[in-house]
Structure 1
């Protein structure tokens, strides 16, 4: 049996640090709602929040770091559904069903958070990072399947790359009226990919 996935709670924070983080995230959301992503800069966030620039830089590092923090905060609800929500996204469904459900949920999440996700990728390299949580989760589910001769480590990375932000954001880079159709097509493509590699949905692993 595979080791259960632990997405990992954030490390403990001092009370003042936690308050500052929540204040900065709330202020960042206000700026986004008022004037969109271009309005959200390190200087404006410090000025609007009433916190020093040093606090903002220590917390986020770069402008892209602000958006990554917002994206991570938005993703907590999805992570909770994966850990303890109803199947097939949560535990209790066959691994192929969970893979399909996870990919669909991830695609919809990035479609709904496109502006934040796009800004979070600015100036960042995809290579050289630790494995993303998508890859870890997919790896756990693949190990529950009987895939003879499969290099599960490599396969997890290949499947996870299909759900990487930069790739999906190119697909979602379309007028608003076409975004739902593109999301539906990409979800169907993810299901086809998983079933071709891992077998049909609705079948439990031996």
Structure 2
């Protein structure tokens, strides 16, 4: 199936917001349908901001079938030290169920990485959850490493991950100990990874 990947434009915003909110409702049922701040201020966050980018994938009927974006990282997790590079947060990766398992998510992320690298972004951050099938493994295949696993009352386990934006660094970056910037010993990473797999 042919897919076209595009960078978001202002006239696409209503369609993008509708797709993301519908996808989010299926992924996180019961979380409410209030428009999220980044979507409510989509133009300022993803189109006008130098650390913003949003991509959509379109099928043959030109309907959105997948989406992904990054926005300026807000350092709201005290246990993480992501260094002094320009850091963005990867968000809103959703793929229509009928288009899954065809490599579309990887294609979208590769294109997002290209934009980040060309924009001079230093590091990409994201967080995900063990209850999302295959999410941790998917992001590890994209070169992300686990920085921390946080337990929360609202979201359960939150897995914080990061990677450099340089495509050549995909699988070469050391695992980082939070708040130190120092490589995490392999045995500690292995233990935390096993803990995550057991959720």
Verify same fold: TM over 0.5.
no
Structure with the bigger percentage of helix: 1
Q: Which has the larger radius of gyration?
A: 1
More relative contact order in 1 or in 2 (CA 8 Å, sep 6+)?
1
TM-score (norm 2): 0.29
TM-score (norm 1): 0.29
